[in-house]
Structure 1
Amino acid sequence: MTVDLLNIDTPALILDETKMDANIARMRDKARSLGVTLRPHLKTSKCWEVAKRQLWTPQGPATVSTLKEAEEFALHGVKDMIYAVGIAPQKLPRVAALVRRGVDLKIILDSVEAARLVTQYCQKESLEIKVLIEIDCDGHRSGLTPDSAEIINVARALEAPARLVGVLTHAGGSYDVDTHEALLVRSRGERDGICRAAKKLRDAGYELSIVSVGSTPTALTDEDLTGVTELRAGVYVFFDLFQAGVGVCQISDIALSLLVTVIGHQMEKGWVITDGGWMALSRDRGTANQKIDQGYGLVCDVHGHLIDDLWVSGANQEHGIISARNGRKINPKDFPIGMRLRILPNHACPTGAQHPCYYVVNNSLEIKDCWKRFYGW
C-alpha cells in the first residue's frame, strides 16, 4: 500500500521539500549577492537531512543553539560551528570534548565574569577555545551595546589559551516590525552596530576574523553588509506565519504544516474539532501581536491549499478548534469526521519541536521519506 497523507496516523508533521528547497536557494543567493558567508542556523529543523541541504559544505559553517545540536551535527562531519547562546560554565567540558575531537566550535559571551571563567577553564585544561563577544544592537536580548566600554574589558579578560576571534549580534528587534522600510532600518542598525564594536576592538589591537550578523528578516532585507563577514539565519528554511506577518515571505512559501484529522463538531458554535491541539502545534501565539492574528494556525486542505476564512481559533492539549473568522457557522457536512486537513504554524521552531520526524512530500499526497529529528540540550 502506498503511504500517503490519507493513511498515516495524525497529528503528523509534514514537510514540503519543494518549498523548502526554494527557501534554501533564496537565502543562499541572498548571501552570495551580499558577498558574505552564509552560516545557517540549524536549530529550526534539528535534522541532518534538512541541515545538509542548508550547508555550503559538509563541514559547515553552521550555527547551533544547543550543544546537543553541535554534538549531533559533529557526528555527521560538521566542523565549523558557533554555539550562539551565552556560555554557561558547566557546559565547558562538553565544548572541550568537541574541540578535542577536531570540531572548530566557537562560543559566545558578554561579560567579564564569563570571560574570566572561560579563561580559567582553558588554562586549567591547556586548551584553546575560540570566543566571540555578543553585541546587542537593538535592545532585544543579551549582549553589550556597540559603544560600551565593557567590550574592551571583556576582551582583556580573555587570556590565552582562550582566544577572541570575533563579534556576533542578532537583530531580534526585526521581529517587531512589518514593513520593508522598518526592516531596512533594523538591518542597517545591525550592520552599523556590529561594525562599530568590531572597530573598537581592532583599534585596541585585537584581531577579529568573524563579524557575524543575522536574523531571517534582516538577512532577506540587507542591501549592504560592508564590514560584515557572515550572515546567520534559521527559520527561513521552513518559514511560518510569523515571518509572513513580518513581510519576508508569502504564506505560500511555508514548507511546514501539521496534518490533522477531523474528530468532531460543535454544531451550536459552528466549530470543527481536530486531533491537532497545542501539544502538536505548540502554544506559540506570536502573530497575536501582529496586524493579523492567525490564532494557532491557518487551515489548508490535505493538498496544502489554503481554505479562506478558517483558522485554528482555539487549542486544548489534544484538541484543535477550527472556526470561521467572520463568525459564520461551519457546515459539518463540509468537514466530515475522518477528513484530513493541514495547519500552517505560527512558529516553525516550536511546532517542529513537538514531533519525532518530518513526513516529506513533494507536490503530491504520497510520502517520499521520513526524516528523523532530535531533541534535547
Structure 2
Amino acid sequence: MAHLSDLDTPAAVIDIRRMQRNIERMQRRMDELGVAFRPHVKTSKSMPVVRAQLAAGAKGITVSTLKEAEFFFSEGVSDILYAVGMTARKLPQALALRRRGCDLRILTDNADSARAIADFGRERGEVFDVLIEIDTDGHRSGIKPDEPALLEVATALADGGMRIAGVLTHAGSSYDLDTPAAQQAMAEQERAGCVHAAERLRAAGFSCPIVSVGSTPTALAARHLEGVTEVRAGVYVFFDLVMANAGACSTDELALSVLATVIGHQVEKGWAIVDAGWMAMSRDRGTQKQKKDYGYGQACTLDGTVLPGYLLTGANQEHGILSREGERDPNIAERLPIGTLLRILPNHACATGAQYPAYQALSENAQVEPWSRLHGW
C-alpha cells in the first residue's frame, strides 16, 4: 500500500478519520431529532463512502443523476431518491430501474412534468412514486408552500394514477448565512414551509407520507423537526471552506483535500507555484461572497495542518498561485522549497471531487488506497 508522499500530484485525498467523524456527527444528530437520514451521495459518488454512511444508520440515499442511481443500485442500494426535477426524456431510464427492482422515487415541481410522468406511467402500466418539490427559501426550484400550483401538480399526478410520495425541499440559501441564530431560523423556515405544504395536500385529500428537508447547515442547526420524516444532506461527509464560513464546521474537520507539489516561485511577487490549478481545484469560488474569501483553497502541510494566511490566490488550468494573504512573503522560496508537498482545502467539496476519477483514501498511518468515483451523467 502506498504512502501519501508516494502519490503523483495533484490527487484528491480523503482523510478517513475525519470523514468517519463527520458521518457519525450527522447521524447522531438525526437520531437525536428522531428522523430518518437519507444522505445526498452526489458529494462523494463513491461506494466506500456510501457504505460508511449506510453502516452508520442512513436509510437509503439521495442522488443527483440517474447514472448515480444505476451505479448505486448495481452495488446493492435499492432505496433511492432522484432529487432533480424529472424530464420526459429520462422517464425510460427511470422505468428501467424500477423494473429491475429499484425502489426509485422521482421529483417534479410543475404540472407539465407531472402530466408527462402520469401519461408515460399509465401507458406502460407503471405507478411512479413522485415527490413534489417545495420552495421554502427562494433559492432555486420548487413550488411555494401556499401556491395554487401545489394542488394542480398533485391533481395531475393522482388523476394519472401515480402515487404522491410526499414533499421535498432544500434550503440552499443557508450557505449564505454564518451565525447560529440565522441558521436555526432558516432550519425552522425550511421545516415549517415543507410541513405546511404537506398539510395542504392532506387537507385536499391527497396522501403525503414523506416530508423531506435538508441542507448540511440546516440539518445541523435545527432545534426540532416536528412533522418531518427524513432529512437529506450531502457535503457534510467531507465539509469544505464554504461550510466552514457558514459555521457548520471548522477547517480541521474538512476531510477532502488536494495534494499538490511546489514546482516554482516568483520570489519578487511572494508566490509559490503549485501543480494544482483550477482543473484540480475546480473553478468554484463559493467563498468569494462569504465573510472570508479563501481564493481557490486553503494551504496545509502534508499532515493536514493549516498554514494560516497561505491561500491559493490564483489559478490557471494546471498552475496554482500560492501566496500569503494580504502581504508579500519574501521568504516563500525558503519556506516552501521546490518539491514541497502541500494539501489544499477546497471551497466546494462536490466540485473538487468531480475533477477526479478516484480518491486516495488516507488512513491514520499515512497509507493510502484508491477509492473509485463515478463520473458523468
TM-score normalised by structure 1 residue count: 0.97
Q: Against the structure 1 CA distance between its residues 21 and 223, is the aligned structure 2 distance closer, same or farther, given a 3 Å change threshold?
A: same
User: For residues 286 and 256 of structure 2, what CA distance do their matches in structure 1 show?
Assistant: 17
Structure 2 residue aligned with 1:79:
78
The aligned amino acid for 2:297 is G
CA contact (8 A) 1:60 1:79 kept: no
Shift of 1:165: 1.1
Matched, 1:195 2:195: yes
Matched, 1:68 2:67: yes
Tell me the alpha carbon deviations over residues 213-236 of structure 1, each in whole angstroms, 9 at most, x when there is no partner: 000000000111000000000000
Tell me the alpha carbon deviations over residues 279-329 of structure 1, each in whole angstroms, 9 at most, x when there is no partner: 000011010101111110000011111112100000000000000013122
- Per the alignment, in what secondary structure is the counterpart of residue 268 of structure 2? coil
User: For residues 218 and 257 of structure 1, what CA distance do their matches in structure 2 show?
Assistant: 24
The aligned amino acid for 1:44 is T
CA contact (8 A) 1:40 1:63 kept: yes
Structure 2 residue aligned with 1:134:
133
User: For residues 200 and 370 of structure 2, what CA distance do their matches in structure 1 show?
Assistant: 48
CA contact (8 A) 1:58 1:77 kept: no
CA contact (8 A) 1:60 1:78 kept: no
CA contact (8 A) 1:60 1:81 kept: no
User: For residues 10 and 114 of structure 1, what CA distance do their matches in structure 2 show?
Assistant: 45
The aligned amino acid for 1:77 is G
After alignment, is 321-330 or 165-174 more displaced?
321-330
Structure 2 residue aligned with 1:155:
154
User: For residues 198 and 267 of structure 1, what CA distance do their matches in structure 2 show?
Assistant: 61
Structure 2 residue aligned with 1:237:
237
Shift of 1:276: 0.3
CA contact (8 A) 2:60 2:80 kept: yes
Residues 332-371 of structure 1: pairs in structure 2 closer than 5 A: 332-367=333-368, 369-371=369-371
Shift of 1:351: 0.2
- Give the gaps of 5 or more residues in structure 1: none
- Per the alignment, in what secondary structure is the counterpart of residue 4 of structure 2? coil
CA contact (8 A) 2:257 2:346 kept: yes
The aligned amino acid for 1:186 is M
Matched, 1:106 2:98: no
- Per the alignment, in what secondary structure is the counterpart of residue 220 of structure 1? helix
Q: Against the structure 1 CA distance between its residues 121 and 330, is the aligned structure 2 distance closer, same or farther, given a 3 Å change threshold?
A: farther
The aligned amino acid for 2:114 is A
The aligned amino acid for 1:198 is A
Q: Against the structure 1 CA distance between its residues 184 and 57, is the aligned structure 2 distance closer, same or farther, given a 3 Å change threshold?
A: closer
Q: Against the structure 1 CA distance between its residues 283 and 338, is the aligned structure 2 distance closer, same or farther, given a 3 Å change threshold?
A: same
Shift of 1:358: 1.0
Tell me the alpha carbon deviations over residues 209-261 of structure 1, each in whole angstroms, 9 at most, x when there is no partner: 10000000000001110000000000000000000000010100000000000
Q: Against the structure 1 CA distance between its residues 22 and 57, is the aligned structure 2 distance closer, same or farther, given a 3 Å change threshold?
A: closer
User: For residues 365 and 284 of structure 2, what CA distance do their matches in structure 1 show?
Assistant: 29
Residues 188-267 of structure 1: pairs in structure 2 closer than 5 A: 188-267=188-267
Tell me the alpha carbon deviations over residues 63-111 of structure 1, each in whole angstroms, 9 at most, x when there is no partner: 0010011000000111111100001110000000000011110111011
Shift of 1:362: 2.1
Shift of 1:364: 3.6
Structure 2 residue aligned with 1:318:
318
User: For residues 90 and 52 of structure 1, what CA distance do their matches in structure 2 show?
Assistant: 31
CA contact (8 A) 1:261 1:274 kept: yes
Shift of 1:48: 0.4
User: For residues 71 and 167 of structure 2, what CA distance do their matches in structure 1 show?
Assistant: 25
TM-score normalised by structure 2 residue count: 0.97
Kindly tell me the number of residue pairs found equivalent between the two proteins. Answer: 375
Q: Against the structure 1 CA distance between its residues 57 and 67, is the aligned structure 2 distance closer, same or farther, given a 3 Å change threshold?
A: farther
CA contact (8 A) 1:262 1:339 kept: yes
Shift of 1:7: 1.9
- Give the gaps of 5 or more residues in structure 2: none
User: For residues 40 and 181 of structure 2, what CA distance do their matches in structure 1 show?
Assistant: 25
User: For residues 270 and 364 of structure 2, what CA distance do their matches in structure 1 show?
Assistant: 32
Shift of 1:58: 9.4
Structure 2 residue aligned with 1:289:
289
User: For residues 12 and 74 of structure 2, what CA distance do their matches in structure 1 show?
Assistant: 25
Shift of 1:352: 0.2
The aligned amino acid for 1:181 is A
Q: Against the structure 1 CA distance between its residues 63 and 253, is the aligned structure 2 distance closer, same or farther, given a 3 Å change threshold?
A: same
Shift of 1:8: 1.4
Structure 1 residue aligned with 2:118:
119
User: For residues 366 and 195 of structure 2, what CA distance do their matches in structure 1 show?
Assistant: 48
Which 4+ residue blocks in structure 1 deviate beyond 4 angstroms? Answer: 56-60
Q: Against the structure 1 CA distance between its residues 290 and 140, is the aligned structure 2 distance closer, same or farther, given a 3 Å change threshold?
A: same
The aligned amino acid for 1:16 is D
Identity of aligned residues (%): 51
CA contact (8 A) 2:107 2:131 kept: yes
